């Protein structure tokens, strides 16, 4: 029997839930924090100002469409922005399904990253189906419905602009124009394939200066025009993981604008199967405004990647070390600069890390960090005395590595355990009297080159902002029902027509829903401080073609399920031929009803046919303390001359503008933020 929206849980169940969350996740109380939540940098660079301008798809669209007079101009501007910030390369893969390893098969699309936010911060590259799935989030942020369309050996984007579907191919980097100068769609090209050969415009058009590719596309369009089902795919991409960085007391973030921040080529750290790391020629990235004039085009850019290095030294002389933990036993305290267990029984501390940058490493063979061994992506070192056992988790404590014993001065490389993920938990178990005298975590992420905040020539104005937020990732594996309901799912609110299936290497679905009405599953997002926002995404299965009435929704509640608000909706059209899709959304919280916990409800309606939930990704955005002071250091080259500039972000400031006296031939090196 379905529980009504307004039904209140019993006091007994509510108390049990609160106690469970308190014990499992949020042991330490509030401390007088020295931290900076949601710190971003934005420069005045005309193309690559950094995450301060590009934190969300909405930000990117607003930037790209400045000065546009109508929707057609806006669509062209977004197309150009995508050309300059994405490029063609093998699609990124991550740990998207339990017990399956990324990198085994390039065609394993279950492992491909379809989150546009992850793509923007960590990658910037993918094959046609991947980037056009990401692009849906940008088109939708602009208010344009979007879909992918099949093509011989390829796929395109079609975007609904000015009452018609229009084709924007950011992978082969071309559009086709009607005689009136408007962008054509499949229907118009099918009616008249000669449009491809009589275009006159400086816009990026086929053939992208690749004659053979142009002939391939021309033959493909002739094949499409000859007939067949060139199917439409809806809701293939989403925007989920927030691009938010939270720095704690004792933490430094250094972002390198290039792949050699750690030394020569042999020391490069990355997450991609390519010798010396991801690299691309033939792209509009790092060029001026994209153009194509007959045989001339500025499409021969070169692009690589950068790195984000987080170095965290928890202060062990006072309680500020608690900023970096998700759980701490009452027996743990600081004494004479040591973290010590002063109780008579074993005590535990769990430290955490999470960022928008995928954890990478230095592959032994300099080519394949996915299947081969790699190092220096996550290293912990320090000094211990007594018996301290440590282990690491890449999935927020759902599974742990084997315990290892810390002895005297130690250095442990855990890159293999966390590569391809975005965060970790490190668990330290102290025997009575055991202590740690010093502790340092170093975590390296791969960074998309186009998200780096680049300096301008002849003087650069830089804005540093602190948004006062930190991410709470809730990423259930959904493999075991008991583990899922104990920690993530509010099982009492699951509708009776939904059954747990459990994800595995062979099992795609986590939950299955019968065709009798909408199935509902509710998940928790708990936080140690007040929630100021949430972001969520859920992937559903779907009958093809889409049955009428199919609808998938996300809702959230801040009052234990008494009231619900809309978060996102996906209603695939009847011409959809994609057997799964994503529903996603984000929202700020109502500060009039502050809460440390949100519920997210996933509703599955297959239009009278069985459907199911494949996976879900949930993120809370919690409030952090007033910003501490920080030092920001820029390093760059002017020709061969190295230059630096240091700025101080005052404590309590949420925005600071700095002028940097750059000269000519600026080449970015790194930018470093240190919390003081």
| Tens-place pLDDT, residues 343-381 | 999 999 999 999 999 999 999 999 999 999 999 999 999
pLDDT of residue 32: 67
Mean model confidence pLDDT for the chain? 92
Residue closest to 354 by CA, chosen among 527, 490, 505, 481: 527
Residue 186 has phi, psi (to 5 degrees) of -55, -45
Q: Which residue has the tokens 């230059």?
A: 643
Q: How confident is the model at residue 31 (pLDDT cuts 50, 70, 90)?
A: low
Cβ atoms of 536 and 554 within 8 Å: the answer is yes
Orientation angle between helical segments 128-141 and 57-64, nearest 10 degrees: 80
3-state SS class at 634? strand
Cβ atoms of 161 and 72 within 8 Å: the answer is yes
pLDDT at residue 641 above 60?
A: yes
Residue closest to 255 by CA, chosen among 241, 265, 245: 245
Q: How confident is the model at residue 22 (pLDDT cuts 50, 70, 90)?
A: very low
The DSSP bridge pattern shows strands 374-375 and 362-363 to be antiparallel
Rounded CA-CA distance 402/20 in Å is 24
Termini Cα distance of the chain: 55
pLDDT at residue 460 above 70?
A: yes
Q: In 250-400, where do the E strands start and end?
A: 251-256, 280-281, 292-293, 296-297, 302-303, 305-312, 325-328, 332-335, 338-341, 347-354, 358-359, 362-363, 374-375, 378-393
Q: How confident is the model at residue 292 (pLDDT cuts 50, 70, 90)?
A: confident
Rounded CA-CA distance 390/402 in Å is 8
Q: How confident is the model at residue 215 (pLDDT cuts 50, 70, 90)?
A: confident
More confident residue, 79 or 11: 79
pLDDT of residue 216: 83
3-state SS class at 584? strand
Q: In 107-241, where do the E strands start and end?
A: 125-126, 146-151, 154-161, 164-168, 232-233
51-241 CATH, one of 3.30.70, 3.10.620, 3.40.720, 1.10.3470: 3.10.620
User: How far, in whole angstroms, is CA 27 from its chain's centroid?
Assistant: 27
Residue closest to 359 by CA, chosen among 413, 280, 439, 427: 413
More confident residue, 676 or 473: 473
Report the percentage of the chain scoring pLDDT > 90: 86
Q: What confidence tens digit (pLDDT) does each residue in 94-125 have?
A: 999 999 999 999 889 999 999 999 999 999 99
Domains 11-30+476-623 and 245-275+305-452 belong to one CATH topology? yes
Rounded CA-CA distance 659/667 in Å is 17
The sheet with strand 39-43 has its strands ordered as 39-43, 460-466, 655-660
**Which residue ranges make up each domain of the chain?**
11-30+476-623, 51-241, 245-275+305-452
Residue closest to 2 by CA, chosen among 485, 491, 493: 493
- Residue 168 neighbours by CB distance under 10 Å: 25
Which run of H or E residues covers position 566?
strand 565-570
What are the structure tokens assigned to 530, written together? 């007040």
Q: How confident is the model at residue 29 (pLDDT cuts 50, 70, 90)?
A: very low
Cβ atoms of 476 and 398 within 8 Å: the answer is yes
Q: What confidence tens digit (pLDDT) does each residue in 36-90 have?
A: 999 999 999 999 999 999 999 999 999 999 999 999 999 999 999 999 999 999 9
| Least confidently predicted of 192-201, 452-461, 480-489 | 192-201
pLDDT of residue 210: 56
Contacts of 407 (CB under 8 A, 6+ apart): 384
pLDDT at residue 14 above 60?
A: no
Contacts of 547 (CB under 8 A, 6+ apart): 574, 606, 607, 608, 609
Q: What confidence tens digit (pLDDT) does each residue in 296-338 have?
A: 888 889 999 999 999 999 999 999 999 999 999 999 999 999 9
pLDDT of residue 113: 98
pLDDT of residue 176: 93
Cβ atoms of 75 and 81 within 8 Å: the answer is no
More confident residue, 8 or 94: 94
Assign residue 517 a region: left if phi > 0, alpha if psi is -120 to 50, beta otherwise?
A: left
Within the chain, how many helices (H) and strands (E) appear?
A: 10, 41
Q: How confident is the model at residue 208 (pLDDT cuts 50, 70, 90)?
A: low
pLDDT of residue 407: 86
pLDDT of residue 516: 85
pLDDT at residue 23 above 80?
A: no
Cβ atoms of 124 and 170 within 8 Å: the answer is no
Has domain 11-30+476-623 been given CATH number 3.10.450.50? no
The C-alpha angle with vertex 13 and arms to 514 and 528, in degrees rounded to 5, equals 100
Has domain 245-275+305-452 been given CATH number 2.60.120.260? yes
Q: What confidence tens digit (pLDDT) does each residue in 231-277 have?
A: 999 999 999 999 999 999 999 999 999 999 999 999 999 999 999 99
pLDDT at residue 16 above 80?
A: no
pLDDT at residue 7 above 80?
A: no
State the burial class of residue 377 (Cβ atoms within 10 Å of its Cβ: 0-12, 13-18, 19+). buried
pLDDT of residue 27: 46
Q: What confidence tens digit (pLDDT) does each residue in 469-526 have?
A: 999 999 999 999 999 999 999 999 999 999 999 999 999 999 999 988 899 999 999 9
Contacts of 506 (CB under 8 A, 6+ apart): none
């Amino acid at each position: 029997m379905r529980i009504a929206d307004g039904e209140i849980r019993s006091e007994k169940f509510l108390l049990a839930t609160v106690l469970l969350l308190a014990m499992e996740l949020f042991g330490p109380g509030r401390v007088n924090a020295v931290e900076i939540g949601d710190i971003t940098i934005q420069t005045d660079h005309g193309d690559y100002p950094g995450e301060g301008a590009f934190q969300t798809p909405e930000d990117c669209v607003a930037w790209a469409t400045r000065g546009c007079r109508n929707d057609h101009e806006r669509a062209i501007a977004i197309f150009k922005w995508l050309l300059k910030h994405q490029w063609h390369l093998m699609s990124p893969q991550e740990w998207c399904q339990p017990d399956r390893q990324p990198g085994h098969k390039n065609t394993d699309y279950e492992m491909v990253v379809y989150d546009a936010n992850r793509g923007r911060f960590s990658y910037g590259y993918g094959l046609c189906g991947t980037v056009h799935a990401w692009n849906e989030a940008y088109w939708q942020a602009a208010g344009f419905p979007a879909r992918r369309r099949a093509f011989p050996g390829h796929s395109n984007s079609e975007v609904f602009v000015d009452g018609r579907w229009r084709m924007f191919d950011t992978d082969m980097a071309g559009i086709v124009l009607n005689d009136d100068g408007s962008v054509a769609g499949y229907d118009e090209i099918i009616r008249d394939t000669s449009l491809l050969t009589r275009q006159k415009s400086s816009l990026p058009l086929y053939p992208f200066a690749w004659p053979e590719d142009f002939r391939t596309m021309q033959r493909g369009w002739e094949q499409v025009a000859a007939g067949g089902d060139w199917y439409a795919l809806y809701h293939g991409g989403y925007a989920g993981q927030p691009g938010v960085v939270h720095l704690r007391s004792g933490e430094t973030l250094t972002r390198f604008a290039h792949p050699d921040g750690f030394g020569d080529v042999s020391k490069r750290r990355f997450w991609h199967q390519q010798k010396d790391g991801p690299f691309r020629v033939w792209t509009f990235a790092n060029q001026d405004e994209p153009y194509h004039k007959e045989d001339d085009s500025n499409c021969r850019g070169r692009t690589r990647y950068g790195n984000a290095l987080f170095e965290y030294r928890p202060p062990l002389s006072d309680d500020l070390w608690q900023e970096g933990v998700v759980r701490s036993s009452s027996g743990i305290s600081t004494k004479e600069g040591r973290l010590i267990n002063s109780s008579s029984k074993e005590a535990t501390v769990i430290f955490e890390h999470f960022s928008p940058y995928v954890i990478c490493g230095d592959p032994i063979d300099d080519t394949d960090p996915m299947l081969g061994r790699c190092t220096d992506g996550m290293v912990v070192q320090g000094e211990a005395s007594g018996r301290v056992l440590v282990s690491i988790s890449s999935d927020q404590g759902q599974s742990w590595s084997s315990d290892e014993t810390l002895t005297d001065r130690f250095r442990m490389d855990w890159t293999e355990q966390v590569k391809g993920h975005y965060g970790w938990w490190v668990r330290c178990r102290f025997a009575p009297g055991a202590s740690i005298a010093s502790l340092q975590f170093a975590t390296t992420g791969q960074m998309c080159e186009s998200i780096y905040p680049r300096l301008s020539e002849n003087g650069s104005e830089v804005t540093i902002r602190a948004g006062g937020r930190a991410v709470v990732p809730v990423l259930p594996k959904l493999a075991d029902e008991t583990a899922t309901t104990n920690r993530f799912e509010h099982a009492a609110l699951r509708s009776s027509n939904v059954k747990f299936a459990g994800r595995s290497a062979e099992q795609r679905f986590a939950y299955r829903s019968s065709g009798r009405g909408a199935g509902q599953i509710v998940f928790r997002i708990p936080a140690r401080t007040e929630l100021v926002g949430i972001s969520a995404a859920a992937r559903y299965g779907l009958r093809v073609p889409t049955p009428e009435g199919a609808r998938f929704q996300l809702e959230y509640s801040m009052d234990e399920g008494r009231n619900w608000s809309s978060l996102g909706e996906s209603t695939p059209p009847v011409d959809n031929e994609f057997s799964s899709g994503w529903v996603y959304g984000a929202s700020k919280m109502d500060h009039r009803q502050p809460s440390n916990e949100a519920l997210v409800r996933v509703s599955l309606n297959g239009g009278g046919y069985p459907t199911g939930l494949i996976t879900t990704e949930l993120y809370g955005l919690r409030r952090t303390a007033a910003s501490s002071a920080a030092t920001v250091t820029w390093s760059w080259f002017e020709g061969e001359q190295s230059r630096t500039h240091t700025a101080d972000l005052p404590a309590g400031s949420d925005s600071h503008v700095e002028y940097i006296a750059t000269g000519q031939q600026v080449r970015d090196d790194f930018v470093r933020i240190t919390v003081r």
